[in-house]
């Protein structure tokens, strides 16, 4: 069946919230380019301006400029796939869509774009993946909080973690994480927040947004063992100092890296 493609000119800081809102209000699929341009696939007869107005209001931002065009199923598939090439993180971890051949060397993580956030193409995800790739994860217990597609937990398992747990509020994200873990032949336990079993972790990662990360500091402190490591992303560079300061009561926290206006905050549990 034909579809209606919607292309929006938004900034990187606004793209994720608007993408989530579009999915909640009827978009069938979305993807975000590195510069913040957002693409969405809508049913053919959708009133695109009305849907965009509602989604933008839900995301707390004005409706951005947009354009629409009709596409056939096969054209949309080709257009979508063209946006997602294989790419390498830290010289050792490859993120490879199913329609690409896997490289012969390195750690390969198979992942296709879907409804849950996290394909490895966004700077926030790349920052955490690069951080994980730099750790010695053998025998480590890892928690990915706000897991989306499960990419961080799966990467940790692929990199040698003894246990990888994932948490998300969204049932679709938990299902996506389970499916992606099976596709990569690794075990990742996915939980709603209230169902996460007791226990602490050697490594905690969270790629969410700055304000939720600040609120979650006591929970992450309780879940990270003494001397354990934490990495936080989804943070604009202008917000990084505030997030790091919020973690000082329990962590030696600092801004570790920045990419395309986004920052990674890391720390060790005191």
184/196 Cα distance (integer angstroms):
22
Task: Give the N- to C-terminal CA distance of the chain in Å, as an integer.
Answer: 56
148/131 Cα distance (integer angstroms):
18
Per residue in 104-121, pLDDT (tens digit) is 688 989 877 654 455 566
Predicted local confidence at residue 4, as pLDDT: 84
Residue ranges of the chain assigned to CATH 3.30.70.1170:
3-82
Pick from 207, 125, 123: which is nearest to 167 by CA? 207
CA angle 263, 235, 229 (to 5 degrees): 70
User: Whole-prediction pTM value?
Assistant: 0.72
Give the side-chain half-sphere CA count within 13 A for 100.
Answer: 19
Predicted local confidence at residue 174, as pLDDT: 94
- Let me know if 157 is exposed, middle or buried by CB neighbors in 10 A (0-12, 13-18, 19+): buried
Predicted local confidence at residue 12, as pLDDT: 72
DSSP string, 58-85: HTTSPPPPEEEEEE-HHHHHHHHHHT--
Residue ranges of the chain assigned to CATH 3.40.50.150:
118-269
238/240 Cα distance (integer angstroms):
6
Predicted local confidence at residue 119, as pLDDT: 56
Residue 60 CB: number of other CB atoms within 10 A?
Answer: 10
Predicted local confidence at residue 50, as pLDDT: 93
Sign of the alpha-carbon dihedral angle for 70, 73, 74, 77? positive
Q: Which fold has domain 3-82?
A: Alpha-Beta Plaits (3.30.70)
Predicted local confidence at residue 35, as pLDDT: 61
CA angle 5, 7, 11 (to 5 degrees): 155
Per residue in 4-51, pLDDT (tens digit) is 888 888 877 788 888 888 988 888 778 776 566 788 888 888 899 999
Predicted local confidence at residue 24, as pLDDT: 83
Taking 70 as the pLDDT cut, the residues of the chain under it are 1-2, 33-36, 72-85, 100, 104, 113-121
3-state secondary structure of 269: strand
Round the CA-based radius of gyration of the chain to a whole number and report it. 18
CATH assignment, 118-269: 3.40.50.150
Per residue in 83-93, pLDDT (tens digit) is 556 778 888 89
Predicted local confidence at residue 141, as pLDDT: 98
Predicted local confidence at residue 86, as pLDDT: 76
């Amino acid at each position: 069946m034909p579809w209606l493609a919607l292309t929006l000119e938004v900034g990187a800081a606004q793209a994720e919230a608007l993408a989530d809102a579009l999915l909640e209000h009827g978009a069938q699929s979305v993807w975000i380019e590195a510069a913040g341009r957002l693409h969405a696939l809508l049913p053919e007869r959708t009133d695109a301006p009305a849907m965009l107005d509602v989604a933008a209001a839900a995301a707390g931002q004005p409706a951005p400029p947009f354009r629409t065009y009709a596409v056939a199923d096969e054209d949309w598939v080709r257009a979508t796939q063209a946006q997602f090439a294989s790419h390498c993180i830290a010289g050792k971890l490859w993120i490879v869509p199913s329609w690409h051949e896997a490289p012969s060397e390195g750690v390969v993580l198979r992942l296709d774009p879907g409804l849950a956030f996290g394909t490895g193409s966004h700077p926030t995800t790349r920052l955490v993946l690069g951080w994980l790739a730099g750790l010695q994860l053998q025998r480590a217990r890892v928690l990915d909080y706000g897991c989306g597609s499960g990419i961080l937990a799966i990467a940790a398992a692929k990199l040698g973690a003894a246990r990888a747990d994932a948490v998300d509020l969204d049932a679709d994200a938990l299902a996506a994480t389970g499916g992606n873990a099976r596709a990569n032949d690794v075990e990742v336990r996915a939980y709603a927040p209230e169902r996460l079993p007791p226990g602490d972790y050697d490594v905690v990662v969270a790629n969410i947004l700055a304000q939720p990360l600040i609120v979650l500091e006591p929970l992450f402190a309780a879940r990270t063992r003494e001397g354990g490591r934490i990495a936080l992303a989804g943070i604009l560079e202008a917000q990084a100092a505030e997030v790091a300061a919020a973690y000082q009561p329990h962590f030696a926290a600092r801004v570790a890296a920045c990419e395309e206006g986004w920052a990674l905050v890391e720390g060790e549990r005191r």
